[in-house]
Structure 1
Amino acid sequence: MKRPPPTLLPLLRSAFQGELLAWLFLHPGGEYAQVDLARRFGVSPSAVTREVDRLAAAGLLVTRKFGNMRMIRADTDVVVARPLTELLALTYGPVAVLGEQLAGVGGVEEAFIYGSWAARYSGEAGRVPNDVDVLVVGAADEDDLYEAARAAERQLGREVNIRRLSRGEWESPEGDPFLETVKARPLVRVEIDKDEGQ
């Protein structure tokens, strides 16, 4: 399925380019195998190769061979690294940050970004949102969710609002105007990597 042009940061060629750059620059100490990046973003290895080749040629990424794998990381020494990281945090950052923050919270079964950020991510035109609205399904402790939201805010440079619902509420939204509206609008699933939360 062809994705719409990126409305979160229209300066970029594609949403995948924004997601890849956000992941790498918001995890500056990380180095990732090209095949793992393809799996993480649900794209073909050749799509990652093309994008990484372009970004490495521009001096934004560093690559190296490790056995038969190509390892990739952000070049944090390039002069544009700091402002680029800030820009990526404000646009594509929620996808790169929220899963990691929620991974450490017990009782989170699923999480979704909704509201204006999800609408922009899905291709609806409009201004970059001032906040990020997150819906967590499960029995997570409210205090733990509050701490995860504050940690995400520090990384993203914007307000993060988390609302918790039980599994029953999420699966039976009838009669709840808020949930009916949320489910009728764009939702972006937050991939929660439990290995990172250990």
Structure 2
Amino acid sequence: MTLAILFSRTRAEIFRLLFEDPARESHLRDLAREAGLSPAALQRELTSLAGSGLILSRRDGNRHYFKANTAHPWYADLHGLVSKTTGIVPALKNVLVPLDGIEFAFIFGSIAAGHASTSSDVDLLILGSIGLRKLTPALRGLSQTFSRELNPYCMTTEEWRRKRRENDAFAARVTREPKFWLKGDADVFDSMGF
């Protein structure tokens, strides 16, 4: 089951981003970038959720920040639901961020698109000098913990650029699909023509 079964994609993304980590407070534009949604669509939903008390909002100059309201009676239930449906994302970040040789890493496929089940495999694109020999042992524990098959696709940034130049079908599909970023910056990735 995914959050998208119960909520609109916008609301599901808000819950995923804000209820996974109770200490997280995020600016509207950061949330929009991570969710892959327009700030205007996100703003409408955030305003509605803030009105219900599920999230808290505050202004700091021009910036508008949001966070989960941990005192709300539904917080524990929503946090549990998010953890069960999206817990692999923060776990992957914890494993991948410290590893050397990774410039960019993201989840693509059904999980990023919002229509995965708890048994869906996890498609990862890893760009950098790291190889499967070093990456596989780091991911093995997560695969067992979350009972999900992890499918890492590793290549150098030059290999990826070549695939993009040659209009490789896999590269074209991954480029246009939604992504959950694990390591690296989406804006840098986009600006470099990846």
Kept in 2: contact 1:138–1:166 (CA 8 A): yes
Q: Do the aligned residues in 2 keep the contact of 1:97 with 1:152 (CA within 8 Å)?
A: no
What is the TM-score with the length of structure 2 in the denominator?
0.65
Q: Compared with structure 1, are the counterparts of its residues 147 and 8 closer, same or farther at alpha carbon in structure 2 (3 Å cutoff)?
A: same
Does 1:191 pair with 2:191?
A: no
Q: Once the 2 structures are TM-superposed, how far is the Cα of residue 87 of structure 1 from its aligned partner?
A: 1.9
**Range 100-109 or range 136-145, more displaced:** 136-145
Distance in 2, matches of 1:54 and 1:159, equals 34
* Aligned-pair CA distance for 1:42: 3.9
Question: What are structure 2's unaligned runs of at least 5 residues?
Answer: 186-194
Say which of 42, 59, 71 aligns to 1:77: 71
**Is the 8 Å Cα contact of residues 19 and 92 (structure 1) preserved in structure 2?**
no
Q: Deviation per CA, 1:49-96: give whole Å up to 9, x if none.
A: 201011112222111222332211011222322332232234345556
1:136 and 2:126 equivalent?
A: yes
Give a deviation string over 1:114-168, Cα, whole Å, max 9, x none: 5xxx2365476x75435424242332265566446746987xx553625352337
> Between Structure 1 and Structure 2, how many residues are aligned?
176
Matches within 5 A, 1:17-166: 17-94=11-88, 98-99=92-93, 101-113=95-107, 118-119=109-110, 121-122=112-113, 127-140=117-130, 142-143=133-134, 146-147=137-138, 150=141, 157-159=146-148, 161=150, 163-166=152-155
CA distance in 2, matches of 1:46, 1:12: 18
DSSP 3-state at the match of 1:9: helix
Conservation of the 8 A alpha-carbon contact between 1:150 and 1:160: no
Residue-by-residue CA offset, 1:93-119 (whole Å, 9 max, x unaligned): 5556645653332212333435xxx23
Higher helix share: 2
* Structure 1 residues without counterparts, runs of 5 or longer: 1-6, 173-179
| Identical-pair percentage | 29
